[in-house]
Amino acid sequence: MNKEELVLLGTGIIILGTALAKLIVGYAYDVPALIADGYHGLADAVIDLGGFFVVRASRMENVSGTRLRYFFSFIIAEFLIAAGILVAYEKFEEVPVRSLVPFITTVLVAITILISSLWRQAVAKETGSPVLEAEAMHGYSDVISTFGAMLGSLAPFYGRILSTIGVAIVVLVMIFAGIHIATESVKILVEYLPKDIVEIIKRNVPSGMRIAGIHVEEEGEKPVIYVVLEGTIHPANLKELEEKISKELPQYDVRIVARTPKRKLAIAIDENGNLSKFGEAYAFIIIDESGRRVVENPYRTEEKHRGVRAMRYLMELGVTDVCAKDFGEAVMSVFSGLVKMKKSDDVAECEKRAGFKR
């Protein structure tokens, strides 16, 4: 299990626990805002745990299967959010039981969610994982939702209006979460790669090579399929393979990159040898077991897609890990799961963290 997976699984379990606490206390003390927020928490747990299985599976199988699984977890989450809004509407008139237990629960839950969001963000910064980055932001919105439940739990002491405001905050956050989830699912459906295409690719890949990942990118007129293979192959045979698969899939632009299972680190640097943003890098320091060398970034002056092109170039060199000051969004979304991207502040730290000695 890598660090990204560990955080997704860990925070998923934490969120599931807080959701159950909200639901149990919410129902026991009749706090509408807390019950609604509990359904919201259940939906979040489904997404987090779904994310864990998808990230894990995407390293092992073809992408189309993982997309479908992600899509299903989105659907379940949408249902739970709808259920939460419905319950909030039904319980609207209820006045919570006079007790401090719901208030204390919401305070503890808010602190727990805040800490788990900070954890996600710290690891997102370290690994460059776009999934974790988005989940960290989501976590902060969950703290706001829990604050709504907190207000609702104080209604028996300070008046029913607090219950109304609390429910309103929770429902608003839920509606935003629902819209976000819906747009994500549509995106995933649009990018969904039909199974027969995966079959065609699988059939053509020579034995002894493993498919490490397949990704579709809408780049030009034709969608581009990136196929990442693991193992050794002669460049001439790679070209041949690319042509063969392209012939069978004329509606796509097929690009194949092969990488060796051995680790190879690339560090993005500027003219002065300091760490640089990825796409703007003047050159890359390439480090592997056999030593280190510097290659210039041939795409640094390109106007468009220079990050994506530079990353593809590095993958052709067999690079498995990349360290830079920052990565562009396109690069992160196209290559996440294919190349390990780490953000850092200086060159020495990149090498140290990757475990390569100077």
Cβ closer to Zn ion: 44 or 217? 44
Between the alpha carbon of residue 172 and those of residues 25, 68, 77, 144, 169, the distances in Å are: 21, 28, 16, 10, 5
Find the binding residues for Zn ion in span 316-335 (CB under 5 A). Answer: none
Q: CB of 32: closest distance to Zn ion in angstroms?
A: 18
Cβ closer to Zn ion: 172 or 186? 172
| Whole-angstrom distance, CA of residue 266 vs CA of residue 291 | 12
Find the binding residues for Zn ion in span 19-78 (CB under 5 A). Answer: 44
Cα 322 to its chain centre, rounded Å, is 18
Cβ closer to Zn ion: 142 or 321? 142
Q: CB of 47: closest distance to Zn ion in angstroms?
A: 8
Residue 135 interacting with Zn ion (CB under 5 A): no
| Whole-angstrom distance, CA of residue 165 vs CA of residue 336 | 40
Residues written for the chain: 358
Q: CB of 29: closest distance to Zn ion in angstroms?
A: 22
Residue 142 interacting with Zn ion (CB under 5 A): yes
Q: Retrieve residue 217's tokens.
A: 């990118």
Q: Where are the alpha helices (DSSP H) in the chain?
A: 3-28, 32-58, 63-90, 101-127, 130-153, 155-158, 161-191, 195-204, 235-248, 306-316, 329-335, 347-354
Residue 177 interacting with Zn ion (CB under 5 A): yes
Q: Which stretch binds Zn ion (CB under 5 A): 119-127, 138-146, 222-230, 287-295?
A: 138-146
CB-based contact 231:210 (threshold 8 Å): yes
Taking Cα atoms as reference points, which of 182, 175, 188, 167 lies closest to residue 141?
Answer: 175
Q: Which stretch binds Zn ion (CB under 5 A): 136-144, 217-225, 251-259, 313-321?
A: 136-144
Q: CB of 142: closest distance to Zn ion in angstroms?
A: 4
Q: CB of 26: closest distance to Zn ion in angstroms?
A: 16
Q: Which stretch binds Zn ion (CB under 5 A): 48-56, 169-177, 236-244, 290-298?
A: 169-177
Residue 288 interacting with Zn ion (CB under 5 A): no
DSSP 275: B
Q: Which stretch binds Zn ion (CB under 5 A): 120-128, 142-150, 152-160, 306-314?
A: 142-150
Q: CB of 40: closest distance to Zn ion in angstroms?
A: 5
**What DSSP assignment string belongs to 297-310?**
-TTTT-SSSHHHHH
From residue 199 to residue 218, the character string flagging contacts with Zn ion as x (rule: CB under 5 A) and all else as - is --------------------
Cβ closer to Zn ion: 80 or 315? 80
DSSP 193: P
Q: CB of 101: closest distance to Zn ion in angstroms?
A: 23
Helix (H) or strand (E) holding 216: strand 210-218
Positions touching Zn ion (CB under 5 A) are: 44, 142, 177
